Chains A and B, each alone.
Chain A
Amino acid sequence: MRRRGSACWIFSALFALGAGATSARAAPRPVTASRPLYLTRGEYLVGYDLRTPPPPDAAGIPVRVPLRLGIGAPSAGTDRRWVRFEFQLGVSRAREHIVYLPYVSPNAAVYLDGIYIGKSDGYGEPQTDSWNFPVYIHVPAALARAGRHQLLVELVPRRRAVTELGPVWVGTNEALLPLYRRQQWLQVTGVEVVTLLVGAIGTLAGVLWVRRRQETLFGLFALSCGIWTIRNAQFFVVHAHSLFYFGVITDAALVWLVAVLYRLSFRVLGQRFPRFERALFGYALLVTIAMLAVGRTHRFVVTAAGYGALLPVGIAFQVYLTRATLRTPTVLSVLLWLAAMITSLSGAYDLLLMLEWIPWPGSYLMPYSSLFYAVTVGWALIDQFVRTHTEYEHLNVALDTRVRERERALKKQYERSAQFERERAVAAERDRILRDMHDGLGLQLITARRLIEKAEHPDHQIASVLDEAIDELRIAIDSMKPTVNDLLVMLGNLRYRLEPRLKAAGISLHWNVADAPEAIRLRPAEVTEITRIVQEICSNAIKHSGATEMSLSVHCPVPNSVGITITDNGCGFDVAAARNGEGLASMRRRAHHIGALLTIESRVAGTRIALTLPAGS
Chain B
Amino acid sequence: MPIAVAIVEDDAVLSERYHELIACAGDMRLEWTASGVAAALQRLGTAVPDVLLVDLGLPDGSGLEVIRAAKARRPECEVMVVSVFGDEEHVVAAIGAGASGYLLKDALADSFLGTIRELRAGGSPISPSIARIILNLARPPGGSPQGAEPSECDLAEREQEILSLVAKGFNFQEIGRLLGISNNTVKTHIYRIYRKLSVHSRGEAVFEATRLGLLDL
Contacts and interface: CB of A to CB of B under 8 A. Distances in A.
B46 to A, nearest CB: 37
A493 B170 contact: no
Residue among B106, B131, B168 with the highest chain A CB neighbour number at 10 A? B168
A481 B88 contact: yes
B168 A513 contact: yes
A482 B88 CA distance: 11
Contacts of A489: 128-129, 131-132, 167-169
B177 to A, nearest CB: 10
Given A474-B85, A514-B178, A518-B164, A481 B170 contact: no
Nearest to B133: A483
A490 B217 CA distance: 13
Contacts of A496: 127-128, 169
A386 B133 CA distance: 65
In this complex, which of A477, A478, A496 has the most chain B Cβ atoms within 10 angstroms of its Cβ?
A496
B171 interface: yes
B166 interface: yes
A547 B166 CA distance: 25
B65 interface: no
Interface residues of A, number: 26
A482 B212 CA distance: 11
* Secondary structure type dominating chain A contacts: helix
Nearest to A495: B169
B86 A511 contact: no
A499 interface: yes
B197 to A, nearest CB: 18
Given A478-B85, A481-B129, A511-B174, A470 B106 contact: yes
Q: Which of B85, B174, B213 has the most CB of A within 10 A?
A: B85
B62 interface: no
A493 B178 contact: no
Interface in B31-66: none
Which residue, of B169, B170, B171, has the highest number of chain A Cβ atoms within 10 A?
A: B169
Nearest to B125: A496
B11 interface: no
A478 B127 contact: no
B169 A491 contact: yes
Given A482-B213, A482-B216, A492 B167 contact: yes
A52 B111 CA distance: 148
A316 B169 CA distance: 105
A478 B129 CA distance: 10
B164 A493 contact: no
Nearest to A470: B106
Contacts of B167: 486, 488-489, 492, 518
Interface in A499-527: 499-500, 511, 513-514, 516, 518
Interface in B165-217: 166-171, 174, 178, 213, 216-217
A488 B213 contact: no
A499 B171 contact: yes
Given A493-B129, A500-B111, A488 B168 contact: yes
B98 to A, nearest CB: 23
Contacts of B132: 483, 486, 489
Contacts of B128: 488-490, 492-493, 495-496
A492 B217 contact: no
B175 to A, nearest CB: 10
B13 to A, nearest CB: 17
Contacts of A490: 128
B163 to A, nearest CB: 11
Contacts of A483: 88, 129, 132-133, 217
Q: A478, A481, A489 — which one has the most chain B CB atoms within 10 A of its CB? A: A489
A516 B167 CA distance: 12
Interface string B113-136: 000000000000001110111000
Nearest to B171: A499
A47 B128 CA distance: 136
A507 to B, nearest CB: 14
Interface in B64-113: 85-86, 88, 106, 108, 111
A397 interface: no
A409 B129 CA distance: 42
Report which residue of A474, A482, A490, A500 has the largest number of chain B beta carbons within 10 angstroms of its beta carbon: A482
Contact of B168 (A478, A480, A482, A492): A492
A312 B90 CA distance: 104
Nearest to B128: A492
A480 B89 CA distance: 13
B127 A511 contact: no
Contacts of A518: 164, 167-168
Interface in A455-488: 470, 473-474, 477-478, 480-483, 486, 488
Nearest to A474: B85
Interface in B128-177: 128-129, 131-133, 164, 166-171, 174
B168 A516 contact: yes
Given A477-B85, A482-B216, A483-B217, A511 B170 contact: yes
Interface in A358-394: none
Contacts of B133: 483
Interface in A238-283: none
A480 B106 CA distance: 20
A354 B129 CA distance: 112
A466 to B, nearest CB: 10
A550 to B, nearest CB: 14
A518 B174 CA distance: 16
Nearest to B216: A482
A480 B169 contact: no
Nearest to B170: A511
A518 B86 CA distance: 22
A591 B88 CA distance: 28
Closest 5 CB pairs of A and B: A492-B169, A492-B128, A477-B86, A482-B217, A489-B128
19 contacts: A474-B85, A481-B86, A481-B88, A483-B88, A483-B217, A486-B132, A489-B129, A489-B131, A489-B132, A489-B167, A492-B129, A493-B127, A495-B171, A496-B127, A513-B169, A513-B170, A514-B168, A516-B168, A518-B167
Interface of B: 85-86, 88, 106, 108, 111, 127-129, 131-133, 164, 166-171, 174, 178, 213, 216-217
Given A481-B88, A483-B133, 9 more contacts: A478-B85, A481-B86, A482-B213, A489-B132, A492-B127, A493-B127, A494-B169, A496-B128, A500-B108
